[in-house]
Amino acid sequence: MQNIYLSDRTTRDIDRRVAKILRDLGNPEPPLRLEEVRHVLQLDLGWYSSSDDGILRETLHRITMAGKQLLSRPSLLLDIVKKFSLKALWQPDRKRIILDAELPDLKKRWAEAHEIGHSILDWHEPMMHGDEKATLSFSCHQQLEAEANFTAARLTFLRDRFSDQLFSSRVTLDSVKELSRTYGNTITSGLWRAVESFDTPAFAMVSQHPRSCLEMNGDLIRYFIRSRRFAQEFQHVSPTRLFDCLGTFCRRGNGPIGTDEVTLRDNHGIEHVFFVECFFNRYDALTLATYCHVRSPSVSVL
């Protein structure tokens, strides 16, 4: 999954709404308490799990989306939840967020912030109903999800505070990890925010271990995050090729697994050097690549 960038007008609108919420909370220190955000927005929170799906069943009989269709398949909502691994739902009519109780705590926090994001953006409400009148296109759904993610990030990273602090010194995987913890967020979301804040070319990857991927199931690359300039200037550089490159200098095992300088060609064929570092936390390999300089002609090329 790659990050997509929102238009300036949309991001300004979102940021205005987030700014108001944070002002109403007295511009709090990190980590942001989401229960306070929900209190300001008057949102309820509920939970479901495979062992306690009462809230889904309670909700099920209220669904009139597709009318009689659902009555003939009363387990449809549970099918949907399982089929799409939905971890969080938002009920605009009840102003309630429903989360999967089995999520790890940090992921619960992000899932909750994401659903709060949907609730803040009033243009999401008519589009998020399970409406019998229309089916959202995939690209529209992706856009709405990206907007909710952006909103969640602006909230939980307190708008520009995280990036201002991060960029006050050299950005490394360690600095991203530490500051993400301070803000109460996952390293993945911290990496995401960090890379999107770079005004130089940069990228990050969340993937399988580059030396052990044949032993693991699932997608090789879960997330490929590019700074705006990287997305614009290195359009032909594929995440698969970058992943293969990691295998040439990373070692097996956990923790820091490798660093190297990697040369990439931009859209015009000019070569640039990036400093790449990789860390494996037993679940994912986290890679951060930051821009160094234009390559001098005498050095060998990737």
Partner 1 sequence: MKMNEDRDWLLTKANEEDNCVISVGGLACRAVAEVKSHDEEIPETTRRVAFARLVELSRRKLRLTIEQLAEQADVDVSQLVEIEEGECSAPEPRTIYNLSRVLNYPPERLMAISGLAKPRGRRLTQATVRFAARSEPVNLLSPEEEEALLEYVNVVIESTDGD
List interacting residues with partner 1 (CB under 8 A). Answer: 7, 9-10, 13, 50-51, 53, 57, 59-67, 69-71, 73-77, 79-80, 83-84, 86, 89-94, 121-141, 143-145, 147
| 90 versus 234: smaller Cβ distance to partner 1 | 90
| β-sheet with 285-294: strand ranges across | 221-226, 202-207, 285-294, 271-280, 255-265
The gap between the terminal CA atoms of the chain, to the nearest Å, is 24
Cβ–Cβ < 8 Å for 97, 45? yes
What are the beta bridge partners of residue 48?
A: 100
Answer whether 99's CB lies under 8 Å from 73's CB: no
Report the residue number, 49 or 200, with the smaller CB distance to partner 1: 49
| Cβ–Cβ under 8 Å, residues 98 and 47 | yes
> Among residues 133 and 268, whose Cβ is nearest to partner 1?
133
Q: Half-sphere exposure (CA, 13 Å, Cβ side) for 60?
A: 20
CB 124 within 8 A of CB 115: no
By C-beta, is 100 or 266 nearer to partner 1? Answer: 100
Report the nearest approach of partner 1 to the CB of residue 229 (Å): 22
CB of 63 to partner 1, least distance (A): 5
Sheet holding 96-100, edge to edge: 44-48, 96-100, 88-91
Query: Looking at beta carbons, which pairs linking 80-87 to residues 24 or more positions away fall under 8 Å?
Result: 81/48, 81/56, 87/111
**Amino acid (1-letter code) at residue 38:** R
Give the nearer residue to partner 1 in terms of CB position, either 66 or 273: 66
User: For partner 1, which is the closer residue by CB, 80 or 216?
Assistant: 80
The CB-of-248 to partner 1 minimum distance in angstroms stands at 38
| CB of 91 vs partner 1, minimal distance in Å | 5
